[in-house]
Chains A and B, each alone.
Chain A
């Protein structure tokens, strides 16, 4: 199946990770948000699955600051670990 192979290769190139592993200054796409109320809160703030986001800062200890357009949102380390992302290579 060529499709599956392509997907696998893409996974290797793009690298699926969780948000806490993202380096400062990279663009990434949100793959999966944790379910429950926190998901709804994230969607309301403007972060939903499929969105492309920029990692503005990584503070020592792992608090992440992301940026979407002009909006900046700080995400605690424990929450960042639950958000699956894909690094965007453009």
Chain B
């Protein structure tokens, strides 16, 4: 791949002046721009498929490729310049180096910032067209940009668009056809001359002079010094400032509501109340409305009462079963339990069947099916791979995960998330992170696996280690959180307080300890704050849909694997053996029923399975508290574990994983000894 790029670049230089695209077969169109400029919306328009559009630096890590007419279209991570300071920049740099045409999307509101990249692309000698996005916001703020003059100064076509309103996309064809190499300063050629002769590509020569060690190594030429880069950067910065002062005019700065909200969200006096309001709204939406009301309906009514009942009744038509029906009677508080046995199948005795049908269709009836056949039990029993997994996946996880992603999408699209990062910066400093770490931590409440991947965007190895440790030890993922919320809300206020205090203290102790003893230094915050704007609902819905879909696709397999594992343990009687092995710890140290061990065994496979395993145990409020503390601190699910090993290496991953066992049982046990 690398050789191919070099070869192509070399080839192109030899035939200088010829159209680049036609030489290598299929032309490559690359979308490039700073973070949050709306590149992805352009990509959607060109390729016809939806990709994640997001308002926070660092969320589009992977490359997205599509096809438009007879060209290939690539989306790149948002970057402020072409270089290799982090993974995103390296990815963007390589795609841009390979490109034939670059469509540079620019945020009109931040011309000074965005044109830096534009000029760098021009200095690289790339054929580009510029799109001035956010035209609607520009008009609202009464700012005028002279696009024609800008086009003259840059020497490349400039178009005005408003991507969210889908205005100006029709000019893309023209932009691709007319893309040009822009006007480069004369001095640049003197600087580049020597390196250019050696590497053969202006783009790469420039990056080498600007100190890109990787590119220099590829050509085995000496890399430019930091001083040369600084001189070029300052010169480029001055050119940008000059251009902006010529083309931009501002009539008056009108006090827009969202501008004001953006400002107030950062003021210490108003910012904290705004933060609290946001969290409260989030809590009522996810914690109360969705995880209580919606899930209660989907899981208990649709899942248990209809889906599982009909599924199991259907299965019982073909296999022996023992069905117990518990009827709650208002007059008689003692439960009425009836057991129906079918030696052959449901239809062997029509009279008993009718009785059963009548009893089981009662409003308050709780129906439990038991299948003696081990294979049937494996598929449709208590931990049935088909029955239980589908209920949890579709009727419990799905609504919760979707709700979480929706809330996250709204926060991202409104521009609040970076402000939240700024507000929390100093707090995060105390635990060795900076404000940016709110992204992985908050994503962790959605899915720890996904969040562990995003720790990549943090500035140093020690920050990545600290964030990963926090995620894997203490942050419950949305699926687990849902189960926790349901269990805790039934337990009362005191258990909730104990739970939150213990988990939070653990977080503080672990992270401050790591901060103190890990070598190196954490990087300080440096973050660009995008404009606050009302999030577009359709975009938020799309984002929710695609993320939820992605999550379900990834999670489902592990759910079935987990259910299969536990099902096998159950059928073979191994579950009882495990429970007995763990029993002394579970019963004496944690003071829980020995069946709670099932929850821990399942927790290794998926965290939420672990918490969900506590549902049927009829625990006392304080037992619930201890069980949930232990389960929360317990090891992450298999998916998160694998990703952690991949991201942080075998040694660090295993240390974190095994110590999670110790922390969970140690802290859970200490709490149990105190409160039970």
Contacts and interface: CB of A to CB of B under 8 A. Distances in A.
B112 interface: yes
Interface residues of A, number: 35
B402 interface: no
Nearest to B253: A70
A73 B226 contact: no
Interface string B563-603: 00000000000000000000000000000000000000000
B426 A71 contact: no
B116 interface: yes
B237 interface: yes
Contacts of A59: 266, 268, 271, 422-423, 425-426
B85 interface: yes
Contact of B529 (A38, A74, A76, A77): A74
A57 B266 contact: yes
Contacts of B268: 57, 59-60
B524 interface: yes
Contacts of A39: 230
Contacts of A57: 263, 266-268
Interface in A57-86: 57, 59-63, 65, 68-80
Contacts of A77: 425-426, 429, 524
B135 interface: no
Interface string B225-240: 0100110011001000
Nearest to A61: B426
Given A45-B113, A69-B112, A79 B81 contact: no
A63 B425 contact: yes
B425 A61 contact: yes
B123 to A, nearest CB: 14
B526 A38 contact: yes
Contacts of A41: 80, 85, 526
B148 interface: no
Contacts of B267: 57
B551 to A, nearest CB: 30
A74 B226 contact: no
A37 B85 contact: yes
B234 A74 contact: no
Nearest to B109: A70
Given A41-B80, A62-B426, A65-B422, A48 B434 contact: no
A41 B89 CA distance: 12
B230 A61 contact: no
Contact of B112 (A60, A71, A74, A75): A71
A46 interface: yes
B226 A35 contact: yes
A21 to B, nearest CB: 16
Contacts of B525: 63, 74-76, 79
A51 to B, nearest CB: 8
Interface in A7-37: 35-37
Contacts of B85: 37, 40-41
Interface in B104-161: 109-110, 112-113, 116-117, 141
A34 B67 CA distance: 44
A43 B115 CA distance: 12
A78 B435 CA distance: 12
Contacts of B233: 40, 43-44
B237 A79 contact: no
A60 B526 contact: no
A38 B524 CA distance: 10
B429 A61 contact: yes
Nearest to A75: B526
Nearest to B266: A57
B426 A73 contact: no
B234 to A, nearest CB: 6
B277 interface: no
Contacts of A42: 526
A63 B112 contact: no
B418 interface: yes
B5 interface: no
A12 B80 CA distance: 37
B87 interface: no
Nearest to B141: A70
A74 B528 CA distance: 6
A74 B110 CA distance: 15
B435 A45 contact: no
A44 B266 contact: no
B527 interface: yes
B459 to A, nearest CB: 10
A10 to B, nearest CB: 24
Contacts of B425: 59, 61, 63, 74, 76-77
Nearest to A63: B425
A75 B523 CA distance: 11
Contacts of A43: 116, 230, 233-234, 237
Nearest to A70: B109
A17 B525 CA distance: 20
Interface string B403-428: 00000000000000010011101110
Interface in B480-538: 524-529, 531
30 contacts: A35-B226, A37-B85, A40-B81, A40-B230, A41-B85, A41-B526, A42-B526, A43-B116, A43-B230, A45-B80, A45-B528, A46-B116, A59-B271, A60-B268, A60-B426, A61-B425, A63-B425, A63-B426, A65-B422, A65-B529, A70-B531, A71-B113, A74-B435, A74-B527, A76-B525, A77-B425, A77-B426, A77-B524, A78-B429, A79-B524
Q: Which 7 A-B pairs have the closest CB atoms?
A: A61-B426, A76-B525, A76-B524, A79-B524, A78-B524, A74-B422, A72-B529
Given A44-B80, A45-B113, 7 more contacts: A39-B230, A49-B234, A57-B268, A70-B531, A74-B425, A77-B425, A78-B524
